Amino acid sequence: MTLPEASATSRRNFPASIDIVIPSYNEAATLPITAPAIIEFLQMVIASEGASCRLRLILVDDGSRDETWATICALTREFPEVTGLKLARNYGHQNALLAGLAHANAEVTISIDADLQDDLAAMGSMIERYCEGAEIVFGVREERTADRLFKRATAIGFYRFMKAIKIDLVHNHADYRLMSRKAIEALMRHDEANLFLRGLISTMGFSTAVVTYDRAPRIAGETSYTLRKMIGLALTGLLAFSTIPLRLIAITGLIASLISLCVAFWVIASTIFNRAYIVPGWASILLPISLFASLQMLSAGIIGEYVGRIYLEVKRRPRFLVDRVESGAETSNEAAQPRA
C-alpha cells in the first residue's frame, strides 16, 4: 500500500494518466459532441500544466438500441484516445459505469454522463483537488434549474429521505466524480450485485473533496432515466444500505399489537358491562381486520424486497459481460469478465 498520511497531505504532481468513463445508453446523438469536447478540454488542461499525461476515454455501450456502438466505433477511428466497450446487453447505468471503472487503469479516473449535463470545467478543479491529496472528488450539482421540475422534486425528496434514514450520501452528487487508482481498487473489492455506487463510495472513507458546478440541460437526446428506473435506483440505494425499513416493520408490529390489546380489553369490557353496545359493532371488526391485514402485506412486501436482494447477491452472477472492446485499429472479443 502507499505511505499512510504523508501522501494525503503532500502535493502530488499532475497525474501521468487519466481515464474518463462514460456509460452510454442510446447516446448516438450526444457522443459525437461529448467525446471531442472532453478530449479538447482535457488536452487544454494538460497543455496549460505543461504536463505529459496519457488521456483515454472509455465509452461503455450499455446495450443501446440505437446507433451508439457504430458511433463509438467511428470515434475510436477518429480519436486515438477513445476506447469502446460494448456490453452484452443493457445492464443499467450503475453496472455500465462499473464496467468502465473495471476497465480503467489510469492514475486517476473520472466518470461522467454522456449528455454533458455536468460541467466539464469541474474536471479541472477535480484534478486540482487530486493534486492536493484527495483520493475521491465528488462533483456536486449546486444549481439544477436546468432539470425538469419533476426530476428536481424527486431528486430533492430522495436526498432528504436518505438523510432522514441516516444513509450517508454526498448531497446532490450523482456519478460525476474523480477516483484515484487506490480508490478504484478499493471499490473493486466490493462485490455486491445491488449496485448503488454513490452510496458505496461514500462509505469507503479516504480523503475526499467536493467540487460544485451548475447542471446544464442535455445537449441532445432524451433522458433514459424513466420514473421506473429512478424508483429502482432509489430502492436499491435504500435497501442496500439500510435495514431501517425492517426495523420500522417491527416497530409498527409492536404498536399494532398494543392497539389490538387495547381493542381486546375494550371488547371484553363491553361484553361484560354493555352487551347491547357490541352487537352493531361490525365496524370494530372490519376495521382492525383490514388494517392489520394490509400492514401484514406491507411488511411481507418489505421483507420480500430484502429477500429478493439476498437471492440476487447469493447467486453471484457477473454484474456485466463485455461483448467487444474496440480501440483505434484494434478490436477484440472479450470473454466473460470476472466479477470485476
By the criterion CB under 6 A, which residues form the site for ligand UDP?
23-25, 27, 62, 90, 92-93, 96, 113-115, 117, 223-225
Shortest CB 218 distance to ligand UDP, Å: 6
- Residue pair 198/173 in contact (Cβ under 8 Å)? The answer is yes
CB of 98 to Mg ion, least distance (A): 18
Task: Please tell me what DSSP assigns to residue 89.
Answer: S
Q: How far apart are CA 173 and CA 332, in angstroms?
A: 35
Give me the residues that bind Mg ion (CB under 5 A), please: 113, 115, 117
Residue number with CB closer to ligand UDP (12 or 218): 218
- The contacts of residue 87 (CB under 8 Å, 6+ apart) are 60, 61, 62, 63, 95, 96, 99, 320, 321, 322, 323
Shortest distance, position 231 Cβ to ligand UDP, whole Å: 13
Nearer to ligand UDP, 219 or 263 (CB): 219
Q: Least separation, in Å, of the C-beta of 224 and Mg ion?
A: 8
Nearest to 211 by CA among 117, 133, 115, 136: 136
Q: Among ligand UDP, Mg ion, none, what does residue 114 contact (CB within 5–8 Å per kind)?
A: ligand UDP
Least distance in Å: CB of 38 to ligand UDP?
A: 12
Number of H helices, E strands in the chain: 12, 9
Neighbours of 290 (CB within 10 A): 10
Using CA atoms, how far apart are residues 35 and 293, in angstroms rounded to an integer?
Answer: 55
Quick one: cell of 245?
A: 425499513
Binding at 225: pick from Mg ion, ligand UDP, none (beta carbon under 5-8 Å per type):
ligand UDP
119 binds, among Mg ion, ligand UDP, none (CB under 5 to 8 A by kind): none
Which is nearer to ligand UDP, 27 or 135 (by Cβ)?
Answer: 27
62 binds, among ligand UDP, Mg ion, none (CB under 5 to 8 A by kind): ligand UDP
239 touches 306 (CB < 8 A): yes
If contact means CB under 5 to 8 A according to the sort of partner, which of Mg ion, ligand UDP, none does residue 107 touch?
Answer: none
